[in-house]
Structure 1
Amino acid sequence: MNFALVKPSAADVDRIVAAALAEDAPWGDITSQALIPEEAQAEAVVMAREPGVFCGEQVIEAAMRLTDPRIRVTFSVRDGDAFVAGAALAAVSGPARSVLTAERVALNLAQRLSGIATLTGRYVAEVAGTGARVVDTRKTTPGLRILERLAVRCGGGTNHRFSLSDAVMAKDNHLAVLTQGGAIGLTEALRAARGRLPHTVHFEVEVDRLDQIEPVLAAGVDTIMLDNFSLEDLASGVKQVAGRALVEASGNVRLETIGAIAHTGVDIISSGALTHSVQALDLGLDIRIGTPVPAQGSGSSQSMLGGVR
């Protein structure tokens, strides 16, 4: 199975989108109700104002459907597809009031997810040919992790553990508490912890110095994270581990540095920047009224083109 293609469940997406819609229109969209005739129909196009990688099929569809099941959405691109500025990404049609009500939530989510996918794609391009995986972290927007993790996959990246319940990852603060007082050595403490775990649980430990590597490896860990190591020390750490565990690099991972980090030979490069400070991609909804709308005080029709804030 290609896990990059696995989508969140419809129920999970609906839960997130429904909460966003309720936040945006808790008592309805009074602007659309006041200005737009109930019978008016709208046709709209989701347009790309800049190039990028798309992620947003599920959220756009859910925002429209949950607002009004009569809205129809047809996509010209799929999640993970690259597009150019000016590309039409999706067509939307249905009751005008409903389309206008759903617009902002649909765009907010799709813009953020496409921003993550686009940035991830840039990181992945920088490590091409090295064998290193670009991986996200738990530094996600609360409540949106399942969507933001999908966006990372759409950009060609890989997901780290989804939650605290998925794998053991002992970081510096865990180790400080675990070995406080020096009553028990690091290797012994980690071995004891490993012995309490099911054999299926992945065990990762973070180190911040080269001299910590051997005591950690002696405990039989699956992955060792080299945190904030210099490029020279990363290369030395990879040689020291010598295939006895996966090597993950973390800290100081930016678009300008990730290529050099990958060339040290690490297996995994994790970056919180993929999700915690990404810039939303500029997408818009260009909409026109399909059913003639009587002009004020006359029998003529009028059309409307543009977006809604």
Structure 2
Amino acid sequence: MNEAEGRLLHVPVLLQEVLQNLPTPLNTVIDLTLGLGGHSSAILAAMPPSSRLIGMDKDQSALDYAGKLLYPQAEAAGVELTLVKNDFAALGQWAAAQPSLQAQFILADIGVSSPQIDLPERGFSYRLAGPLDMRMDQSRGQSAAEVLATLTYEQLADIIHLYGEERYSRRIAAKIVAYREKRAITDTLTLADIVRSAVPKAALKEKQDPARRTFQALRIYVNDELTALQEMLQAAVNLLAPGGRLAVISFHSLEDRIVKRQFHAFAHPCTCLPDLPCCCGRQPAGRVLTPKPLTASAAECEANFRAHSAKLRIFEKM
């Protein structure tokens, strides 16, 4: 990907809402999902000299692109920039090797970045022809094609129902299994056509393409996204300095539900009965700054269709 392609493909969502919730001082910032550096570039502009920005991503191509954008900007601002190839699911292990590190702000923009969706060779899109991959880190793990070839009908149906919230999951799984008995499912458009052929005709007239939910489900499964999210949230709160903030942007209900519940658990850890004095000894880690998630303005939604489903939640550590 060249720089012009990157600029066209990437528009950071809820950017103003993120910037409006930066704490002070801002000595150390960690962007756990660096992508092409859109959020980090704007945050860097608000950081004082001698502060530190750590950008993390498991996609090496994203790190390479973001580095070209951020290193000159960081040098001009006197900010120390460190880029790290790491899955945020492994944030705890990485943090264990940085025992003195404390951050004032940690950002996680969950989900697939625009370039990953829009580049056919990554295999995320049900609209573009490409190999059925869907791995955010293409150097490891099973591709979506391998998953479709090996899982049972019951496993596929459960995954599509749970992660895609798809009401026709069993019909879709049955079509996939029937098709793969004749030939392998290795490209995105073939899978999209299989899904569309499995749903009732009325579903084809809905605003959302019926293939979207199945593609979402496979992407979540291939990358183990929900487990990774829960592990990241705990590790990130542990990395925060007192008064530091963790900001998480999610794009669908499963992710948002996990973030909401985990933030509530951080703020209200007591497991005792409500009418009795606390005897468990568990103390709040901080407070939730967003009882309701922040969402994109009408203007942002009009300018960037991916902002429609974005939700931002923020937790502040005591």
Instruction: Sort the TM-score into its range (normalised by shorter chain).
Output: under 0.3
User: Relative contact order, CA 8 A, sep 6+: which one is greater?
Assistant: 1
TM-score normalized by structure 2? 0.22
Between Structure 1 and Structure 2, the one with more helix by share is 2
Q: Which has the larger radius of gyration?
A: 1
TM-score normalized by structure 1? 0.22
